[in-house]
Amino acid sequence: MLLTNLTFLIIGASHMAKPGYLITSLHENLQSQGAKVHSMGVCGSEPSQWLMESNGLCGGAERAFNAPIQLSLGKSAKTKPITDLVAQDKPDVVVVIMGDTLGKYKEQMIKFNVSTEVKILSKKIAELNKPCLWVGPPWGNEGYMTGKTHGRVKDLNEVLANSVAPCKYIDSLKMSKPDEWQTTDGQHFTPAYYKEWSKKIVENIKTIPN
């Protein structure tokens, strides 16, 4: 995929919700290659919440093209309906970066519920006649309070890969080895490893036919 002059709408959960996370590195990486990018993340959000305006749990961030990052704190962060975002931006590609929130790492993961959540959003994007890329969760570090384990994220990745169609799936587990990228809490990376993840995401996007 040639990125020059393409408009990307990127939505996600916590990995997109703070400066230094993907809202910094992925946004800038795509822009540096000639793309126009609108990024938005709401911490704790699940896919179905992007069909309406809905409050997140732990803050959020938005970066509209060349504007600076705008932060929302706590539950004041809100998703925006994907229908409105697509009508506003007229993107060439929609990128969804959601997975870890669906993993329910401290609870039992109900695969049917995860699959249903994903399909609600992917089918809505298809109805809007927009190509969609869905970026799955990467490896984290075990033994932290987030409860993320290598076994659980592997199971989650398999459910997502089989549920995102008609979106194309980008498998982040193939981008590194378990524990290779360092986190602050088992789930969220240091800025240096968000840069690594961003670089790998863009490499994958460029291999996808226009």
Q: Is residue 68 part of a domain?
A: yes
Largest CA distance in the chain: 43
| Residues in Cβ contact with 25 at an 8 Å cutoff, skipping those fewer than 6 apart | 191, 194, 195, 197, 198
Q: Is residue 115 part of a domain?
A: yes
Q: Whole-model pTM?
A: 0.96
CATH of the domain at 144: 3.40.50.1110
Q: Is residue 2 part of a domain?
A: no
How many domains, the chain? Answer: 1
Q: Is residue 45 part of a domain?
A: yes
Q: Rounded distance, CA 181 to CA 191, Å?
A: 11
Query: Could you tell me the residue range of the domain that residue 84 belongs to?
Result: 7-207
Helix (H) or strand (E) holding 97: strand 93-97
Tens digit of each residue's pLDDT (9 = 90 or more) over 37-91: 999 999 999 999 999 999 988 999 999 999 999 999 988 899 999 999 999 999 9
Q: Is residue 182 part of a domain?
A: yes
Among residues 37, 133, 124, which one has the least CA distance to residue 83?
Answer: 124
Q: How far apart are the first and last CA of the chain?
A: 5
